Amino acid sequence: MDKKQTLKAFLICFNGRKTLLYGVGKRAGINIFRPVGGHVELFEYSKDTIRREVKEELNSGISGLQFLGVIENIFWRDGSKHHEIDFMYYGKLTNKKLYNEEKIEIIDGRKRITAQWLDVGKLSERNVVPPGTYSYMRKLMRKRDE
């Protein structure tokens, strides 16, 4: 059995009542999405990771960056057991043009993926990974609505 341990950092950001996510596949017929972010490199702080990943993937900086917490995620994928530690952040994209785009093309290494602004009200804990991300989104939305 293969085992993999990974550190990642993710950014939750909003455009009105929508949040920026991209598809990572399907599980039990349900589309699965995750926020923008990626792997923490060796000796890199997670706050630096999220700034680097957003710059690489979206050609944007982040303003008002706030650390939300850590999610520990253990799961099986492709016959391997994974143990992922996810550093969750909230912030605003400084590239304002991105807020006018419904879909955003991201180049992640050799892969081209499409991120899109999705209505938080139409998502659930079942289709946003890592598990717990949707709870952070809902809490942030409630704070904004107060």
| Confidence bin at 108 (pLDDT 50/70/90) | confident
Which residue bears the tokens 């923490």? 40
Question: Above pLDDT 70, what percent of the chain?
Answer: 99
Distance (Å, rounded) from C-alpha 75 to C-alpha 88?
Answer: 18
pLDDT of 38 reads: 94
User: How crowded is residue 52: how many other Cβ atoms within 10 Å of its Cβ?
Assistant: 16
Question: Is 88 a residue whose pLDDT tops 80?
Answer: yes
CATH number of 2-145, picked from 1.20.120.450, 3.90.79.10, 3.30.70.100, 3.40.950.10: 3.90.79.10
Between 76 and 100, residue with greater pLDDT: 100
pLDDT of 83 reads: 92
Distance (Å, rounded) from C-alpha 106 to C-alpha 33?
Answer: 14
Distance (Å, rounded) from C-alpha 117 to C-alpha 21?
Answer: 6
**What is the pTM (predicted TM-score) of this model?**
0.93
